[in-house]
Structure 1
Amino acid sequence: MPISFTATSPSEYYSFPFDKYLNQDVFKYALGSLPFFKEWKNFWIDTLIKEDELLKSNIDEVINPLKSSEYIETYEMFDFTFDSPVGSYIYKFDVEKMKYLATHENIEKDIFSLDLIHFNSSAPLITSKVNDTRLPFLVRFYGTPIPLLCVDGNKRLKAKTEIENSDTIVAHLFDENYLDRMFFDKVDMFFYSLHRETEDMHKALSMGLSSEQVFNLTLMSRYKCV
């Protein structure tokens, strides 16, 4: 999300070059054989820049839940910095909304290998966390070497690995069905969707699907049908 905020600081916009990001060779190498590649790339550039400009123009109206005195000590969010050759992008996960979902909806629960989870290994080691029975929140992440991201429960995972020497964890997994409720803003949702879609398209090409079948996997195809 191209806006940063904390409990004690105002909302502040930062720039991320979405056009330069999508013009990297990695996208061309993966998807450049598709006849609609250029149109697809421009669709995503236009979509992300449009949402980014909308966010920037309304920065004074962006609701920072941490600024409300009743939430200042309790509202949880999680920042994940996605580093790229053209700059860093900071995802902001709304952990409070995810807690609500975990309580009121049937979020997938399973056993996961810790080798597949990116968690904050620099989190403080708190011995009592080995007895914390709350399930961590994981998100299937794209565009990174490790496929799962821990957005809540990093201290629990730290304790499990260093004190109990565990190699698996039971956790909730949030998938794309909850995209509109995991983030604070649409920019994060679209940037996440870009990476998921890129991986799905590349996988489809590797399986020998036709360009038409691959096109039908894209957000652009659904926009054209409207």
Structure 2
Amino acid sequence: MPAFFTSLTPMKLVDFDYEAFFTHIEETVGGLSFFSKWKKFWINFFQEQDQQILDFIKEHPGSNPIMERLKRPNVPSRFNYESFVYEYITPGGSFYLHFDVEKIKVVQHQYLHKVTIPIEDIPIGNIYIDPTTPIVENKLTDQRLPYLTKIYGSDKPFICVDGNHRIQSKIKNSEVQNIKAYIFSDDHWDFMFFLKCDVYFMALTKELQSMAFLLNQKGTEQDILEVTQMYLQQASNS
């Protein structure tokens, strides 16, 4: 089961039906000879992550990763630790992705010599913008670039992780068609999320897209197998 928390709410497990999730996937890739083994690999992995979440809840009752970071020395009082939660809706239920916006900002500002983050013009129609974001007029003159990340298996290929106010203001006050933004990809996932289970869920969605593409291109089973985490982890351990 995935987790859910916000800046102000404790972390909890959320009901998620893995069988329903993979039954839906079976319609696309169920004909592969390794499907059952692959499905078991992923379910076992997420169940291990569930236990880690339960361990955290037991060790830090009423808390969450953000609250624990705010307990560290030298954190300014009333510091607003910014995060972003995206609800990825599936046939098995909602899987919540928790983006560590403060850490993303640190990486973007301080470690550009180590981490390459491209800037691209992205059509507005390709971006998921938080619909609950209010219009803030003074954001129209804010020249900071938004942060987008690629998302797989969703209606829109990008999520706005930071900068929703800026984008909403530009949409309201101009006929903007494209948004210039930093684009974070799978190369950056390790520092973008609070939880490892979120990183691996993103990896699973990308993997599913690659598998479906190879099936459509008449790729061999070996070709398809080699894009899976199951194969890659076995290969790295051999």
Alignment partner, residue 4 of structure 1: 5
**Displaced runs of 4+ in structure 1, greater than 6 A?**
none
- Aligned mates of 1:6, 1:122 — CA distance in 2: 16
The equivalent position to 1:181 in structure 2, one of 169, 191, 194, is 191
Q: Secondary structure at the match of 2:175?
A: coil
- Aligned mates of 1:168, 1:86 — CA distance in 2: 34
Alignment partner, residue 65 of structure 1: 66
Alignment partner, residue 93 of structure 1: 99
Alignment partner, residue 208 of structure 2: 198
Q: 1:122 to 1:54 in 2, by over 3 A?
A: closer
Alignment partner, residue 132 of structure 1: 142
Q: Secondary structure at the match of 1:11?
A: strand
Q: 2:112 aligned with 1:112, yes or no?
A: no
Contact 1:4 1:13 in 2 (8 A): no
131-140 or 85-94: which moved more?
Answer: 85-94
Contact 1:142 1:199 in 2 (8 A): yes
Which amino acid in the other structure matches residue 185 of structure 1?
L
Alignment partner, residue 46 of structure 2: 48
Q: CA deviation at 1:131?
A: 0.9
Alignment partner, residue 28 of structure 2: 30
- Aligned mates of 2:153, 2:135 — CA distance in 1: 29
Q: CA deviation at 1:63?
A: 5.5
Q: CA deviation at 1:97?
A: 1.2
Q: Secondary structure at the match of 1:33?
A: coil
- Which segments of 5 or more consecutive residues in structure 2 lack a partner in the other structure? none
Which amino acid in the other structure matches residue 65 of structure 1?
I
Equivalent residues, number = 223
The equivalent position to 1:84 in structure 2, one of 90, 97, 101, is 90
Deviation digits for residues 119-141 of structure 1 (CA, Å, limit 9, x no counterpart):
01331111211111111011100
Using the size of structure 2 for normalisation, the TM-score is: 0.87
Contact 1:5 1:12 in 2 (8 A): no
Identity %: 27
Using the size of structure 1 for normalisation, the TM-score is: 0.91
- Aligned mates of 2:6, 2:138 — CA distance in 1: 30
- Aligned mates of 2:12, 2:125 — CA distance in 1: 35
39-48 or 82-91: which moved more?
Answer: 82-91
Q: CA deviation at 1:56?
A: 1.2
For the aligned residue pairs, the C-alpha RMSD in angstroms reads 1.8
Q: CA deviation at 1:33?
A: 2.1
Which amino acid in the other structure matches residue 12 of structure 1?
K
Deviation digits for residues 102-122 of structure 1 (CA, Å, limit 9, x no counterpart):
122221111110110010133
Alignment partner, residue 39 of structure 1: 37
